[in-house]
Amino acid sequence: MNKNLWLLILSQVFAFTAAPVTVFLSGIIGSQFSPVKSLATLPMSLSIVGVAVSTIFAAKIMSIIGRKAGFIYASIGSSLSSLLAAYSIINQSFILFSVACFLLGTGLAFGHQYRFAAVETVKKDMAPKAISIILLAGIASAFIGPNVANLAKEIIAEHLYAGSYITLALLTLSSTIFLTFYKNESKSSKVLIKSSRSYTELISQPRFLQAIISSAFAYAIMAFLMTATPISMHVMEKISLTNTGFVIQLHIAAMFLPSLITGNLIKKYGHSTIMYAGVILFLITILTSFFEQNFINYLIALVFLGFGWNFLFISGTSLLVLSYKEDEKFKAQGFNDLIVFTIQATASLSAGVLLSLTSWKMMNLICIPFLVLIVLSTLRADFREKK
């Protein structure tokens, strides 16, 4: 732990409140304003699309102006986007709300660079721990964001949830307070995206490909099921909003709480072993879909979904850091996030439609082929390394 890492942690707590609030409220607000029922999850999906299409841009900007300025501008942008969301709720505009969620996703694309900024504050062999620590801050975001949003939802009595996004604007802007004291690492602000190796050469490395597949499909499965959960629970199964929110909060906490030990586990057992463990945790989530769709089973499913994501995403990200050269880090990081969040966006966009056409059980079964891809890419990389 050092000063910069502490500042990144504190800043991320507030910057990332946009993510759990979007997960918690966007589907519910979408179901109120959407002209077509199957489009209720579109705002949530567009926030992920915003992340996907902005990843290369975020890496490029940070390679030019540095981490500090990039994070500060992103926080200001997220704050303004939150105010736009509040305005859209007041005017009951589904289109405007969808645009606001997309812009919040753009801000989160910059926010996802926090994990790479954390790596730059430590030695490479400590990367898993640094990533674990920075992701652990997500627990605070998971509880602060939805709780504040829920408490503030009736600030404007005539327009439910407008107050939630007004307070979100204040929360995301708060991260700039800590960023004021953050100092750019000299290397991180000087390295250009250009490097000698092409994207094809980067992805031809078995470990690089393993890292991307692990992170991408972990995020895809998590987003696919998480996006559908509020609609499945609250709208279709008539489970209370309070219980639905609690399940989402516990899910997000489960995404980040294992970070207390994940870095140590990776260091002790290796990246591949933790990836296999992550696949098993996802399989437990899928297994619960064979039982009754009640509050307890949703809770169990979403908690193990969070655990599985944590193991796969942290091991994938820390493995990625070991598979590129210093002069190509922004290029590799931007490309990784483009693939990860494009696949995640595709999964999230399809969630609402597939849920309306199939069932919660089928949604879970659809995830199995992606788990197979993670296992195959890991086995291939392990085999190539032993040769």
- State pLDDT tens for residues 292-309: 889 999 999 999 999 999
Q: What is the mean pLDDT of residues 178-182?
A: 92
**Residue 313: predicted pLDDT:** 94
The C-alpha R_g of the chain, in whole angstroms, comes to 20
When comparing pLDDT for 78 and 355, which is higher? Answer: 78
Confidence of residue 193 (pLDDT cuts 50, 70, 90): very low
**The residue to which tokens 């195959």 are assigned:** 376
Band of the pLDDT at 192, cuts 50, 70, 90?
very low
pLDDT at 109 over 90: yes
Torsion angle of alpha carbons 245, 250, 251, 253, nearest 10°?
A: 130
Greater confidence (355 vs 37) lies with 355
Contact call for residues 129 and 260 (beta carbons, < 8 A): no
Q: Is the pLDDT of residue 10 over 50?
A: yes
Mean pLDDT score, 29-37: 85
Q: Tell me: the pLDDT tens digits for 208-220?
A: 999 999 999 999 9
Q: Which pLDDT does position 326 carry in this prediction?
A: 79
Could you tell me if 386 and 206 are in contact, meaning their C-beta atoms sit under 8 angstroms apart? Answer: no
Q: What is the pLDDT of residue 106?
A: 94
At residue 324, the pLDDT reads 84
Percentage of the chain surpassing pLDDT 90?
52
Tell me the average pLDDT across 16-23. 90
On average, the pLDDT of the chain sits at 89
Q: What is the pLDDT of residues 116-151, one digit of tens each?
A: 898 888 887 788 888 888 888 878 887 899 899 989
Domains, the chain, ordered by start: 3-180+197-386 (1.20.1250.20)
- Beta carbons of 81 and 110 less than 8 angstroms apart: no
Amino acid identity at 374: I
Asked if pLDDT for residue 195 goes beyond 80, the answer is: no
Q: Which range, of 47-61, 179-193, 305-319, 327-341, averages the lowest pLDDT?
A: 179-193
Band (11; pLDDT cuts 50, 70, 90): very high
What pLDDT does residue 188 have? 42
Sign of the torsion angle spanned by Cα atoms 106, 110, 113, 118: negative
- Look up residue 284 and give its two tokens: 């437990």
Q: Which helix (H) or strand (E) holds 133?
A: helix 127-151
Alpha carbons 365 and 367: distance in angstroms, whole number: 5
The pLDDT of residue 168 is: 96
Provide the pLDDT for residue 190: 44
Question: For residue 124, what pLDDT is reported?
Answer: 76
Predicted local distance difference test score (pLDDT) of residue 242: 84
Q: What is the rounded CA–CA span in Å between residue 146 and residue 24?
A: 7
Higher-confidence position of 31 and 11: 11
**360 CB contacts (<8 Å, ≥6 apart)?**
228, 232, 289, 293
Statement: residue 196 has pLDDT above 70? no
Give residue for tokens 């708060």: 174
**With 60 as the cut, is the pLDDT of residue 381 above it?**
yes
DSSP code of residue 17: T
Measured CA to CA in angstroms, residue 152 lies from 30, 161, 169, 269 at distances of 19, 7, 12, 45
The DSSP-derived string for 195-243 is -SS-HHHHHTSHHHHHHHHHHHHHHHHHHHHHHHHHIIIIIIS---HHH
Given a cut of 50, whether residue 285 has pLDDT beyond it is yes
Q: What's the pLDDT band for 387 if we cut at 50, 70, 90?
A: low
C-alpha count within 13 angstroms, C-beta hemisphere, residue 190: 4
